[in-house]
Amino acid sequence: MTTTQRLHARLIKRDLDAESQLPDDVQRNVPGNTLRLVGANALQSSGDQMVNASTVLPWLFHAIGVPAALTGALVPIRESGSMLPQAFLTPLVIKVRQRKLVTLAGALVQAVAVAVMAVTAAIGSGLAAGLTIIVALAVFSLGRCLTSIASKDVQARTVPKGERGQINGLATTASGLVAITLGLAVRALGEGLDAQTLAAILGIGSVLWVLVALVWWSVREPVDAPSRRSQSDLLRDRGKSQSDLLRDRGEGEEEQDNWFAQTLTLLREDATFRSFVTVRSFLLVSSLSPPFIVTLAVQAGAPALTGLGGFIIASGLAALLGGRIFGRMADRSSKRLMTTGAALASLVLLVLVLLDTFLDLDGDSLATYAIFVAAYFLVTMLHTGVRVGRKTYVVDMAEGDQRTTYVAVSNSAMGVVLLLVGAISSAIAGFGVIWALLFLAGLGVLGVVTSRRLPEVEGLA
């Protein structure tokens, strides 16, 4: 065995039956491509920790005197900006025979955007600097959008089922190590965490994305024949009769060129895909609740800066511990993983609400601080499982261009849902953070109930 093969065998539990179904040239490259994909995803996940819209960028805004109103725009722009354009961009991505070129371009866009943020942090201040960083973050999200569309397709072309979830898990583990390091640094720096230090952190993030681009370039991706199949063709392959419906409406080819209409049609006609998007919408419990847990801790009296360092460390530990475990669980049943994770996250929120309601929690108490950090740790770790399960499910549920379309349309739909649910939970939080947590816990329960309609895609009953 070569060194690459030995390392691949140590990191990944191989599915030899699935590998044997791949073309010979793809089989030969599985070990090397797996390590490249782990590297690319790990570097990207590490870079995300350097440009975290929930932690690093808000601290930066405070350090350079950006008005507080702009801080509230960071997370929506970061998350929705990377999702909403995907259905629009998918027809362009499908025309590219080597999808790794799209991921490479997306990584370079992110590298440039973060470099602009770093320079702005070093020399700028006030409203102008804040607006510059907001625009750079929007460009960054567009780069992530391109990477998100194409990376799953590259993974599915180069790695068999049964091994894909482990790649996502290993990358999550790597990001956990980075988060722990960053959290320890924040704890050590305390009030000395100034704009220049944050600019240096962003600069490191920019370098990481350049490395991501180089790794994507090295992936040995098989090149399929050019595909001109539209979403209409994909639906027809699944036994749908969209072409007849289009002719009945007299829209024909004009409808096929309308990406928005095609997106609506896909959601309307494809029951399995619609169920996945619906369930995914309810599983936002684990992604939207952590900031409210931190807010609840601060309201109880936890120190705003050094206390936040503890939450970052907890997030890193959650990713470190959960990444490898959840990766293998996703390869066995991604559906079961994401729904169980949401159910347990809802339970953690309910327990935290009960403790906060019936106990006199004092933020200066070590026990109280431990309760909040523990709740944050559990929810964040469970979110790791939900995210790994969701990514693995959408990759395994389809083939070829249909997979690319599923990823893009589901993410575009989720961009809208994220804005709506985020706005609703924020409005509810105006009446009390506890009510927002209860709302999100209720969403998680609905996700578990509705997930019963989802089929297993890993071949498990």
Instruction: Encode pLDDT of 127-178 as tens digits.
Output: 899 999 999 999 999 999 888 888 878 887 888 877 777 777 777 777 777 7
Q: Which of 73, 45, 84 is nearest to 418 (CA)?
A: 84
- Give domain status of residue 233, yes or no: no
**Tokens standing for 458?**
């890993």
In this predicted structure, what is the pLDDT of residue 112? 96
pLDDT tier at 358, thresholds 50, 70, 90: confident
The answer to whether residue 246 sits within a structural domain is no
- At a CB cut-off of 8 Å and minimum separation 6, what does 85 contact? 142, 145, 412
- Sign of the CA dihedral running 154, 159, 162, 163: negative
Token digits of residue 162? 């049964």
Domains held by the chain: number:
1
Angle at 75 between CA 177 and CA 405, to 5 degrees: 85
Is 459 within a domain?
no
334 lies in some domain: yes
Q: What percent of the chain has pLDDT over 70?
A: 83
pLDDT in tens, 40-79: 888 888 888 788 877 678 778 877 888 766 766 677 788 7
Q: Does the residue 6 lie in any domain?
A: no
117 falls within a domain: yes
| Residue 234: per-residue pLDDT | 45
Q: Does residue 398 fall inside a structural domain?
A: yes
Residue 257: what residue type? Answer: D
Structural domain range at position 53: 13-223+260-453
Most confident residue range from 114-123, 148-157, 159-168, 281-290: 114-123
Burial of 272 (C-beta count, 10 Å sphere; 0-12/13-18/19+): middle
Quick one: average pLDDT of 229-236?
47
Q: Round to whole Å and give the CA distance between 455 and 244.
A: 27
CATH number, domain with residue 400: 1.20.1250.20
